[in-house]
């Protein structure tokens, strides 16, 4: 069990390193000169050259990368080109804001999707209807849904704020958007698992033992549904933390996604790298957490393969 | 057996049971009695209706099945009970042993809990008491270190142990009836023998009646008191197990026995006996005897008139066993012996290994 976790952790670290290398290389493919983005509009070539020298931009790629990676290993993410603050100080609060949204989004999708899935599994009459709802939600692009919700609740009904921000009132619509977009996946997986479980031999055993239906659902069915749902929550938390760009842009939610987009425009490479690294770490970390949780829920995953 | 029948209500009494899945008639007019403390076995091929009959008696069929007829467990008519009412009494009336214990046990719940929930739900025990009772129940089915085993999950147990856990659940509340659906099929031979010995021992101790579904005639010979042979949804012959073995009256039973005899003691390399043809498909409703197309004793009457179950009368000597009945116009007589109707049955090309 411990060995399996360590192996997964090592693979995760390798994956993170791979992401860092790839992101670093990609930034040099992006056209544009950071020095021009930093300097005022009409600047002499000498000033630009000074900026480049200051940021080591005139050195070979491999040297720049070695310098960056060396700093990274020492826990130094660098300094923002534009805001002249340590990257960690810029990203930190943004990560928290995105974390709140990611968590609220996952809670929303688990509640919406889980309920739809359970209803679909238990009542064959609504199964087709829920299938149609799932399909519709899957087909709607996330920004369209976000804008529609904003139009309806923000402008038409006037019960939700439209100005952007990170307060509790501003959280509702973006979280709902994430929840609705993610719900069909949970609905499908929960419905499938649950139907499989309900038709299983062990549920028949439970019935033959004269256990009440609600008891069978709680003790025998739901525990078997939990395991794949946990895996998906882990994946979602990781990927949402790495930036729910569309939702943050639509609702002007000041999180990591918004930061990454702006920094990419400004060619603020240290910040972009920082957001990429945070995303990669989040994905690996929450996958690992999900694996550990699954071991508690499903004893079969505790055994070494 | 007659004396015991009078002495105690039968564990199970099935009268005119019919099971239909839509247009498919899976069990036709089945009547069967499982006396207390006895093992009654249902023999038949896949699709013969043996599982449908047993599951109908245990009320474990899906709601798509239409069931008519009367089922009484320990003298109590359960066919009239509502589903909620039946749920409350079912664990004290009957226990079920499934074929594949690996699938029949919940993979994510420790086995002790799976046994123990019977006690918390039906005997009003606290969780602590139920845990102790579960350990005791595991000890009853001769599991060593029951307290340690109770904490394990099904995948951590051997096949024999899992089946013992199933049996422990089935007998936990000492129900008068136990329905076992080929409980030894998935096990290797030595484990099979252990499980059979355990069930033989439990039967003596508990005085429960067993309804035992199988296609393995060897198990029948070892454990059963009574055998009922099913073919195409009907019980075509039933009687004391020795009688069924030594002097089968229905040509189908005789064919089954002959296949087995060839397999066990036929000369090596000799072709195995096989009943020609195949059973009617589930939707078919033949006018006469369902076995007639495969039977060499069949005459015109077999194709036209469905034979009812009649007491078997022998041509010569003794008058047959008490309760031995068969549904056949031309039953295999004792005098006919080996040169019976199936003697001309086709032989298989395949050789014994």
Residues in chain A whose beta carbon is closer than 8 A to a beta carbon of chain B?
Answer: 200-202, 204-212, 215, 219-220, 223-224, 227, 297-300, 303
Q: Are residues B222 and B115 in the same domain?
A: yes
pLDDT above 50: residue B290: yes
pLDDT above 50: residue B317: no
Does the residue B45 lie in any domain?
yes
- Residues paired with B21 in a beta bridge: B24, B65
Express each pLDDT in A161-201 by its tens digit. Answer: 777 777 888 899 999 999 999 999 999 999 999 999 999 99
Give the mean pLDDT of chain B.
84
Nearest CA of chain B to the CA of A143: how many Å? 40
Residues of chain A with Cβ-Cβ distance to B60 below 8 Å are: 204, 207-208
Does the residue B238 lie in any domain?
no
Domain count for chain B, please give it. Answer: 2
Domain of B7 in residue numbering reads as: 2-231
Q: Are residues B259 and B213 in the same domain?
A: no
B77: phi then psi, degrees, rounded to nearest 5 = -75, 110
pLDDT above 70: residue B41: yes
A192: exposed, middle or buried (Cβ count in 10 Å: 0-12, 13-18, 19+): middle
Express each pLDDT in A1-42 by its tens digit. Answer: 678 888 889 999 999 999 999 988 887 777 777 777 777 777
Q: Are residues B179 and B286 in the same domain?
A: no
Give the integer Cα–Cα distance in Å for B142 and B148.
13
Neighbours of A88 (CB within 10 A): 15
Q: Are residues B161 and B182 in the same domain?
A: yes
Mean pLDDT check: name the lowest of A276-285, B266-275, B285-294, B316-325: B316-325
Average pLDDT over residues A35-58: 78
Q: Are residues B167 and B79 in the same domain?
A: yes
Domain spanning A93-254 has what CATH number?
1.10.3720.10
Give the integer Cα–Cα distance in Å for B26 and B245.
26
Instruction: State both tokens at B195.
Output: 């499980």
* CATH number, domain containing residue B150: 3.40.50.300
Express each pLDDT in A206-234 by its tens digit. Answer: 999 999 999 999 999 998 999 889 999 99
Q: Are residues B219 and B321 in the same domain?
A: no
A219-223's contacts with Cβ under 8 Å and 24+ in sequence apart are A219/B109, A219/B117, A220/B106, A220/B109, A221/A194, A221/A197, A222/A194, A223/A297, A223/B106, A223/B108, A223/B109
pLDDT above 60: residue B158: yes
Give the integer Cα–Cα distance in Å for B32 and B71.
10
- Residues paired with B73 in a beta bridge: B12, B76
Which of B179, B196, B231 lies at the terminal end of a domain, its last residue? B231
Instruction: State both tokens at B206.
Output: 């508990």
Q: Are residues B87 and B183 in the same domain?
A: yes
Q: Are residues B211 and B124 in the same domain?
A: yes
pTM: 0.80
Q: Where are the domains of chain A?
A: 93-254
Does the residue B15 lie in any domain?
yes
Q: Are residues B213 and B275 in the same domain?
A: no
Nearest CA of chain A to the CA of B100: how many Å? 8
Express each pLDDT in B80-118 by its tens digit. Answer: 888 889 998 898 899 999 888 999 999 999 999 999 999
Q: Are residues B217 and B247 in the same domain?
A: no
Nearest CA of chain B to the CA of A134: how many Å? 28
Q: Are residues B203 and B97 in the same domain?
A: yes
Instruction: State both tokens at B293.
Output: 């197309």
Hey, is B72 helix, strand or coil? strand
- Which secondary-structure segment (H or E) carries A226? helix A222-241
Distances in Å between the Cα of A152 and the Cα atoms of A28, A181, B58, B100 are 42, 17, 55, 55
Distances in Å between the Cα of A223 and the Cα atoms of A157, A204, A243, B106, B262 are 41, 16, 31, 10, 49
- Which secondary-structure segment (H or E) carries A139? helix A124-139
Residues of chain A with Cβ-Cβ distance to B95 below 8 Å are: 208
Express each pLDDT in B47-77 by its tens digit. Answer: 889 999 999 999 998 888 999 999 999 988 9
Which of B231, B261, B294 lies at the terminal end of a domain, its last residue? B231
| DSSP secondary structure string for all residues of A39-98 | S-SS--HHHHHHHHHHTTTTS-HHHHHHHHHHHHHTT---B-TTT-SBHHHHHHHHHHHH
Does the residue B308 lie in any domain?
yes
Q: Are residues B213 and B334 in the same domain?
A: no
Query: Measuring CA to CA, which residue among B199, B260, B200, B211 is closest to residue B235?
Result: B211
């Amino acid at each position: 069990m411990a060995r399996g976790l360590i192996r997964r952790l090592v693979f995760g670290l390798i994956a993170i390193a791979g992401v860092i290398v790839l992101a670093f290389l990609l930034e040099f493919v992006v056209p544009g000169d950071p020095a021009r983005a930093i300097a005022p509009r009409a600047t002499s070539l000498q000033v630009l050259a000074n900026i480049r020298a200051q940021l080591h931009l005139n050195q070979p790629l491999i040297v720049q990368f070695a310098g960056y990676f060396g700093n990274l290993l020492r826990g130094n993410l660098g300094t923002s080109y534009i805001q002249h603050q340590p990257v960690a100080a810029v990203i930190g609060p943004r990560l928290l804001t995105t974390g709140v949204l990611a968590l609220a989004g996952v809670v929303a999708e688990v509640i919406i999707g889980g309920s739809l899935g359970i209803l679909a599994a238990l009542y064959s009459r609504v199964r087709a209807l829920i299938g149609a709802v799932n399909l519709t939600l899957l087909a709607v692009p996330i920004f369209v849904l976000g804008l529609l919700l904003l139009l309806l609740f923000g402008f038409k009904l006037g019960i939700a704020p439209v100005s952007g921000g990170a307060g509790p009132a501003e959280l509702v619509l973006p979280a709902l958007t994430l929840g609705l977009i993610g719900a069909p996946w949970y609905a499908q997986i929960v419905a499938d698992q649950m139907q499989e479980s309900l038709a299983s031999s062990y549920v028949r055993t439970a019935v033959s033992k004269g256990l009440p239906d609600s008891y069978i659902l709680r003790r025998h069915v739901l525990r078997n549904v939990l395991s794949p749902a946990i895996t998906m929550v882990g994946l979602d938390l990781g990927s949402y933390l790495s930036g729910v760009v569309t939702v943050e842009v639509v609702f002007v939610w000041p999180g990591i996604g918004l930061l990454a987009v702006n920094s990419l425009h400004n060619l603020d490479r240290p910040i972009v790298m920082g957001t990429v690294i945070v995303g990669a770490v989040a994905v690996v970390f929450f996958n690992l957490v999900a694996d550990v949780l699954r071991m508690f829920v499903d004893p079969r995953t505790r055994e070494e393969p | 057996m007659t004396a015991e029948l009078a002495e105690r209500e039968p564990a199970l009494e099935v009268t005119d049971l019919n099971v239909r899945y839509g247009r498919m008639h899976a069990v036709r007019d089945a009547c069967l009695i499982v006396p207390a403390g006895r093992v009654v076995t249902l023999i038949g091929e896949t699709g013969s209706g043996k599982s449908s009959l047993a599951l109908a008696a245990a009320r474990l069929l899906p709601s798509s099945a239409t069931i008519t007829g009367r089922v009484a467990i320990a003298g109590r008519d359960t066919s009239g009970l509502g589903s909620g009412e039946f749920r409350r009494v079912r664990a004290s009336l009957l226990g079920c042993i499934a074929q594949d214990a690996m699938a029949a046990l919940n993979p994510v719940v420790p086995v002790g809990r799976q046994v123990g929930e019977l006690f918390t739900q039906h005997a009003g025990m606290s969780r602590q008491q139920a845990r102790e009772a579960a350990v005791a129940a595991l000890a009853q089915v001769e599991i060593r270190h029951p307290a340690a085993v109770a904490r394990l999950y099904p995948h951590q147990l051997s096949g024999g142990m899992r089946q013992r856990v199933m049996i422990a659940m089935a007998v936990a509340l000492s129900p008068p009836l136990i329905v076992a659906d080929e409980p030894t099929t998935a096990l290797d031979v030595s484990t099979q023998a252990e499980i059979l010995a355990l069930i033989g021992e439990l039967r003596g101790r508990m005085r429960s009646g067993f309804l035992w579904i199988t296609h393995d005639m060897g198990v029948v010979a070892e454990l059963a008191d009574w055998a009922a042979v099913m073919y195409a949804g009907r019980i075509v012959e039933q009687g004391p197990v020795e009688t069924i073995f030594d002097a089968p009256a229905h040509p189908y039973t005789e064919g089954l026995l002959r296949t087995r005899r060839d397999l066990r003691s036929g000369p090596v390399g000799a072709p195995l006996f096989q009943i020609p043809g195949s059973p009617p498909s589930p939707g078919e409703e033949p006018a006469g005897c369902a076995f007639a197309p495969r039977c060499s004793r069949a005459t015109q009457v077999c194709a036209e008139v469905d034979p009812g179950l009649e007491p078997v009368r022998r041509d010569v000597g003794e008058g047959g066993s008490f309760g031995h009945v068969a549904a056949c116009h031309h039953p295999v007589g004792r005098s006919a012996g080996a040169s019976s109707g199936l003697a001309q049955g086709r032989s298989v090309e395949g050789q014994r290994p």
